[in-house]
């Protein structure tokens, strides 16, 4: 891949972005986009943390977003750079910064296709997807579908990552085993005959509203680009849903990821059939009890953190739940620092 210059990101300085050209597909040009935030220096974050052993200056973080999403979580990036880590976020092909005119947003027919996106992102970070890095450690950080994608990638590429952090990963369809078995052949047939046909829009926009309701005016997030993260999700297409279901089936068979894994989830779920205040204190996207059980199939060392009052993205929850999520992530990061 030819060298490409880092430019200022839409989030503003000091965030930078790099466009990663990928192999074209039937819809034309395909790219991924890598966003980075680098630590500003050693003295201030060592002073802020008050202890040298918490420094993660040998760590690179690679974050991957969820469905109908892109990277904008500046607070999360600064959590890591405050500890000395280099933070990178990947807008996958056909999402966010990487979406091009005429493309089916978010569509792939196999989650393993993202291996190319991740390979080029790691290369830009100075890593090899096959040999790793001789002097640095990698933390994979995935949200929702991004958590599923990175879990599968880590299982296929053992020995590269040193830790995995998953924020409400979509590890299983929200059906009982009998329901999954009944739906599977129908989904497979739809994906084969009409992979790009969109399903019905089931999102009423309540999850987006819940995030707005709990936003912290004293610590505001960047303005959301609604073309990249619409109030109601992007169209869910049969071929993409089949790819997700296939990945989840692989998880159920056991991934055996050999490194420490942290899974952060809300304490409870709520079905978003109508608006209520309860939607601001629960996961309205996934059934978290099912995800908690599925997480045990990821590997031998899984830490499960259930956060009272958290949304689907636990780091976009109301103030108390968000602080709890960051405290739990901080303990995981401290353990990672001590294992250096």
Q: What's the pLDDT tens digit per position in 97-130?
A: 999 999 999 999 999 999 999 999 999 999 999 9
Q: What is the DSSP letter of 237?
A: B
181 pLDDT more than 60 = no
Helices 74-81, 319-338: crossing angle, 10 deg rounding: 30
What is the C-alpha to C-alpha distance for residues 317 and 192, in angstroms, rounded to an integer? 38
pLDDT of residue 200: 81
Q: Which residues pair with 263 in a beta bridge?
A: 166, 304
Q: List the single range of 170-184, 228-242, 272-286 with lowest mean pLDDT.
A: 170-184
pLDDT of residue 40: 85
Phi-psi region of 91 (alpha: psi -120 to 50; beta: other; left: phi over 0): beta
48 pLDDT more than 60 = no
Output phi, psi for 142, to 5 deg.
Answer: -125, 140
What is the C-alpha to C-alpha distance for residues 162 and 58, in angstroms, rounded to an integer? 11
Domains and CATH numbers, the chain: 7-338 (3.40.50.1820)
174 pLDDT more than 80 = no
In the chain, what's the furthest Cα-to-Cα distance? 59
Extract the tokens encoding 57.
């200056």
Q: What's the pLDDT tens digit per position in 278-325?
A: 999 999 999 999 999 999 999 999 999 999 999 999 999 999 999 999
Mean pLDDT, all residues of the chain: 91
40 burial type by CB count under 10 A (0-12 exposed, 13-18 middle, 19+ buried):
exposed
Extract the tokens encoding 109.
């027919």
Q: Where are the beta strands (DSSP E) in the chain?
A: 7-8, 16-25, 28-37, 59-64, 86-91, 137-143, 163-167, 261-266, 302-307
Q: Is the peptide bond before 14 cis (omega within 30 degrees of 0)?
A: yes
What's the half-sphere exposure (Cβ side, CA atoms, 13 Å) at 310? 24
What is the C-alpha to C-alpha distance for residues 312 and 211, in angstroms, rounded to an integer? 10
pLDDT of residue 55: 86
What is the C-alpha to C-alpha distance for residues 269 and 309, in angstroms, rounded to an integer? 10
Q: Please, are residues 313 and 168 in contact by the beta-carbon 8 Å criterion?
A: yes
Q: Please, are residues 32 and 22 in contact by the beta-carbon 8 Å criterion?
A: yes
Give which of 141, 34, 151 is closest to 93, Cα–Cα.
34
Task: Name residue, tokens 């807008």.
Answer: 91
Q: What's the pLDDT tens digit per position in 5-28?
A: 899 999 999 999 999 999 999 999
Q: What's the pLDDT tens digit per position in 131-166?
A: 999 999 999 999 999 999 999 999 999 999 999 999
Q: How many residues does the chain have?
A: 340
Q: Please, are residues 199 and 238 in contact by the beta-carbon 8 Å criterion?
A: yes
More confident residue, 7 or 1: 7
Task: Name residue, tokens 């993260």.
Answer: 229
pLDDT band at 218 (very low <50, low <70, confident <90, very high): confident
Give which of 43, 45, 130, 136 is closest to 88, Cα–Cα.
136
């Amino acid at each position: 891949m030819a060298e490409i210059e880092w430019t200022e990101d839409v989030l503003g300085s000091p965030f930078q972005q790099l466009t990663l050209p990928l192999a074209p597909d039937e819809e034309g040009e395909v790219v991924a986009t890598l966003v980075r935030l680098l630590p500003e220096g050693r003295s201030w974050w060592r002073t802020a943390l008050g202890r040298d052993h918490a420094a993660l200056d040998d760590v690179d973080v690679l974050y991957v977003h969820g469905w109908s999403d892109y990277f904008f979580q500046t607070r999360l990036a600064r959590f890591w750079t405050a500890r000395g880590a280099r933070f990178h976020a990947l807008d996958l092909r056909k999402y966010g910064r990487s979406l091009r005119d005429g493309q089916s947003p978010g569509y792939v027919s196999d989650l393993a296709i993202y291996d190319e996106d991740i390979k080029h992102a790691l290369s830009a970070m100075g890593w090899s997807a096959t040999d790793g890095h001789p002097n640095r450690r990698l933390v994979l950080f995935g949200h929702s579908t991004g958590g599923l994608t990175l879990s599968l990638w880590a299982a296929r590429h053992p020995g590269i990552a040193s830790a995995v952090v998953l924020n409400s990963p979509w590890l299983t369809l929200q059906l009982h085993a009998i329901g999954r078995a009944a739906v599977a052949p129908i989904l497979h047939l739809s994906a084969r005959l009409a992979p790009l046909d969109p399903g019905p829009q089931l999102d009423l926009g309540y999850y987006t509203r819940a995030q707005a309701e709990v936003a912290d005016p004293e610590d505001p997030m960047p303005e959301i680009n609604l073309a990249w993260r619409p109030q109601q999700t992007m169209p869910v297409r049969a071929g993409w849903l089949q790819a997700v279901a296939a990945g989840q089936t692989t998880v159920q068979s056991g991934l055996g990821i050999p490194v420490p894994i942290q899974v952060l989830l809300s304490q409870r779920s709520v079905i978003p059939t109508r608006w209520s205040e309860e939607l601001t204190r629960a996961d309205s996207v996934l059934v978290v009890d099912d995800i908690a059980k599925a997480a045990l199939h990821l590997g031998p060392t899984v830490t499960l953190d259930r956060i009272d009052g958290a949304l689907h993205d636990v780091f976009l929850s109301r103030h108390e739940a968000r602080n709890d999520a960051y405290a739990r992530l901080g303990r995981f990061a401290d353990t990672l620092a001590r294992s250096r």
